[in-house]
Amino acid sequence: MTATRLWQDIGAGDNLLTKLLRFVFMAAAAVVFYFLAVLPLSWPQQAVCGLLTLLMAMALSRSSDSYLVTLTLMIMSMFCTFRYGYWRVSQTVQFFRDPANHWGALDAFFILCLVGAEFYAFVILFLGYFQTIWPLRRAPVALPDDEHEWPHIDVLIPTYNEPLDVVRYTALGALNMDWPADKLHIYILDDGRRKEFEEFAFEAGIGYKIRGDNKHAKAGNINAALKLLDSPYVAIFDCDHVPTRSFLQMTMGWFLRDGKLAMLQTPHHFYSPDPFERNLGQFRIIPNEGELFYGIVQDGNDFWNATFFCGSCAVLRREALDEIGGIAVETVTEDAHTSLRMQMNGWGTAYINIPQAAGLATERLSAHVGQRIRWARGMIQILRTDNPLFAPGLKFPQRLCYFNAMMHFMYAIPRLIFLTAPLIYLILSHTNVPGYWAAILAYALPHLILSNVTNSRVQGEHRHSFWNEIYETVLSPYILLPTVMALINPKLGKFNVTAKGGVVRRTFFDTKIAQPFLILLLFNIAGLLVAIPRYFVWDRDRPGTVLMNCLWSVFNIIILGVTTAVAREMKQLRTTVRIAIITPVMAALPDGSAVEGETIDMSSGGTSIRLLEPVELAPQSEILLGFPMPSGTQELRATVVASEGEVLRVKFENLSIAEQEVLTMVLYSRADSWLGWGESRESDNVLRSLTRIFTISMHGLVSTAKSLFTPRKKTKKKPARVPAPTSALLAIAALLTLPGARMHAQHPFAQNGQQPPPATPAAATPAGQFRDTFSIGDTGSSQIDMHGVDSTTSVYFTLPQTHVPRSVKIHVSYAFSPALLPDISHIKLMLNGTLFATIRPTPDGTGRSKGEVTESEFAIPAELMVHHNALTMEFIGHYTLMCEDPANTTLWARVHRNTYFDIQGDLLPLADDLKQLPLPFLDPAVVQPLSLPVIFAAPPDTKSVQAAGIVTSYFGMISEGRPVRFPVHIGELPAGNAIIISDSSSNLPAGLNMAAGTSPI
């Protein structure tokens, strides 16, 4: 026997001995754990034991950031949770066995429901600890130096009804990834089959693919394209996820190293706020809802070789995809189902936690809820069709990771039980938790506090304390039925596309989405009111029980107060998201000079620049911006919006494809675009997070009460005339409504270079009247595609308060699916709930010919038009008279975004009274850039300039996100509304005084 062989045998013996010792230690630890967890103690003894455990845990947590301490806290948390759970079950059994407890069927039902909800919470807590016990933090692997060894890659960008302005930057970002051009193949997969997308793809040099139907939605779209492609690797991006230039270089190295790697996922990063962040004002202050999954859970999954495919920002090996028959189509979460099937076949998956693409979060809470409903239903469908606990080919950790991800979406029933459990006792007088109140607290509090402290340590960077309760509370009423129905029948439900890239024209309380929260809130408040007589009269001998349930209800009210605050949709005027980007820029001015500077923030619509020296540029001036790139300086045309000393604000419009590529590379495609995004956030602290939630909740409750109980102000048709004042106020602005002045209500809606339909020139509109023309695209809506046998969508717009319409017309551009039966298919047009027109297909079913747009004009009764308006379109589509599939999504009707309104009417006169402000200059409800001239009768002195500053500051503050300009005139009067600054001791020039028609105030 050689020395080497002898050493190997000794090593093998040591390895066997080590395993044996490890097994003995684990078995002994489990016995001790169980013995201590079930040890019976009186409630004072348990209170002391729990307090000591908490103090020990707090001391450990503060002593070190070591991961060994984190693991110790996990074990202590599981111990307290297991001890509480064992006590709860034993107390429940004892309660039912004791004949002295006169319990009924309802008591048993309520008690068992709460025990079941708690058991679910315990299982999810333990599985969560297991899943994230050791986040892998995988690093990228370098590619071979020889580019000839780099493989061909197909990049797929599926789209359905998203606007081109969203998709174009993803396509251009993919086109500019650092990869050999002859090995990079970009394709837009357009299930909407839109002509403008085909034209853009042709102009940009990008592949464009369509199919004859929309079967299996996104999964079917990708599978149809895969049949026509043959590259060994496929990268998939949602159409709003723009990749950085380094995406492939960061991901492909692992595929070349590991031949059994089927999929590598990167995070979904969002550069716009989701509804929670936007409506609660917490953007970049707290982590968003999805960050827990991409920040810690996926890294934990990677340790167990259980990384999920998330549908975008990922690369897949074609061989593995072909082996399982392509993207899974049996469920609406085709992504996770696909990775599960690949791992069932023995393939591996991986995760690199470095943001290499970024996209748009959902704007409205209703859209966010709809997206989560799809996710929840799809995960339960997978649980039914390919249950990971029993699926072949998986290892035990993989089974637990997938099972936890699917069972997580069953939280609706437990969460609703927790929100109503104290009411069982307070309102219904039934038992919810059997046992003495002090014993309940002695056992429950260590479990609750330690689980929060431990989760804060494990997840705090990616999910702040107590926000999980808020997210689950918002979604629970809505995912309850879809998950239960999917559990019963996994074939129910269909794929829904999540709307992105919209705006919210006005702040409003979404009463419809908030209804479940309001009902739960009222019940919990009612429980507190009932607790008063219960404490002093009915249950005077059980004050502790009453107070314990009151505290529970108070906590529920705090959580529900935040959910109602989320339902208050805050105004979002920008159609493009501003991103704080600081990058060098050289501005080439119209006079030929150049000034260096750096960007302050930037969007696809424009940028703010801080220059090294002040400049004075007239609005609408054309300049060139030079951005340094690896390939050299790239130039971008821009139009000046405002020049304020060293700060220059410009907009981008009518950019060529080459310029759009430059903008994409500067804005989205830098390798470090999204690194360090959350570094400015404060770390989680349990008490600080609870305080923040309490503050938000109080504001939410107050604003909700105002929204529900404060009557809306009605627009006055004929405001009372107020005599014009005659006394002069020294150094105060004269706010004058000049003859012939009018407010342009909707023309300024035109953005991104799109112009509204032709309108009658202002000079042709008689004094005291108005004419507004604006398209539904101007209101922020994209092309409206309606599918199925019954589909409804609405467009919201606002009419200025000073406008009284007399004539209202709508010019509709539309098209119908060729398969429709014209006699029983139509589009109903309703304004504010009242039907005013019905559009039917022509007998050939297409309008004129297949895919061609038809135009029609309809008159709308002027009395239907109010201040805030909703244009609702309802599509009824049928392709057969009998045996029709109601889930058929191939039927469609389309209303194009160039559909426009033509509104004419009278302008209400305004009294010469400062209480009318900000009218006539600005209607806060209407999205309108503000350009308000400031007129000085003579060269201004210091007091006049101060007065102008006061007034313009007022308008600057109330203009919110609108662009604002205050052009200055001396001794001349422009047309329209104006601010006139005049001293009481000075006289206005004769022409100016006559034009004004009144003395300065």
Would you please indicate which residues are annotated as catalytic (active-site) residues?
191, 335
- Do the beta carbons of residue 474 and residue 563 sit within 8 Å? yes
Could you give the 3-state DSSP secondary structure of residue 622?
Answer: strand
Nearest residue to 771 via CA among 922, 903, 907, 928: 903
What is the spatial distance between Cα 722 and Cα 914, in angstroms, rounded to a whole number?
11
In terms of DSSP H, where are the helices of 567-710? 657-667, 686-709
Cis omega (within 30 of 0) on the bond before 543? no
Long-range contacts of 411-414 (CB under 8 A, 24+ apart): 411/120, 411/124, 411/472, 411/476, 412/376, 412/472, 412/475, 412/476, 412/477, 412/479, 412/480, 412/483, 413/117, 413/120, 413/480, 414/116, 414/117, 414/118, 414/120, 414/121
Task: List helix spans (H) across 205-312.
Answer: 217-226, 247-257, 275-279, 291-292, 298-303
Cα torsion through 60, 62, 66, 68, rounded to 10: 20
Burial 936-959 (b: 16+ CB within 10 A, else e): bbeebeeebeebbeebbeebeeeb
Task: Give strand pairing partners of 647.
Answer: 610, 644
Q: Which residues contact 449 (CB under 8 A, 6 or more apart)?
A: 54
Q: Which of 572, 499, 603 is nearest to 240 (CA)?
A: 499
Inter-helix orientation angle 195-204/657-667, to 10°: 80
Nearest CA-CA partner of 815 in 891, 893, 875, 873: 893
Query: Cis peptide before 739, with omega less than 30 degrees from 0?
Result: no
What six digits make up the tokens of 32?
């001790």
Among residues 292, 289, 294, which one has the least CA distance to residue 354? 294
Which residue bears the tokens 């299982």? 123
Dmax (CA) for the chain in angstroms is: 119
**DSSP secondary structure code for residue 697 in this structure:** H
Question: Do residues 402 and 307 touch, judged by C-beta distance below 8 A?
Answer: no
DSSP 908: P
Residues 6+ apart with CB under 8 A from 59: none
DSSP H stretches of helix in 228-312? 247-257, 275-279, 291-292, 298-303
For residues 774 and 571, what is the distance between their CA atoms, to the nearest angstrom?
A: 20
Q: For 837, phi and psi rounded to 5 degrees? A: -160, 150
Q: Are 345 and 391 a contacting pair, CB within 8 Å? A: no
d(CA 387, CA 400): 11
**Please, are residues 154 and 185 in contact by the beta-carbon 8 Å criterion?**
yes
**Cα four-point dihedral sign 800, 803, 805, 811:** negative
Spatial separation of the C-alpha atoms in residues 563 and 572, rounded to whole Å: 19
Residue in this structure with the two tokens 């960007």, named with its chain if needed: 599
State how far Cα 297 lies from the chain centre: 20
Record the tokens describing residue 231, joined without a space: 């590259």
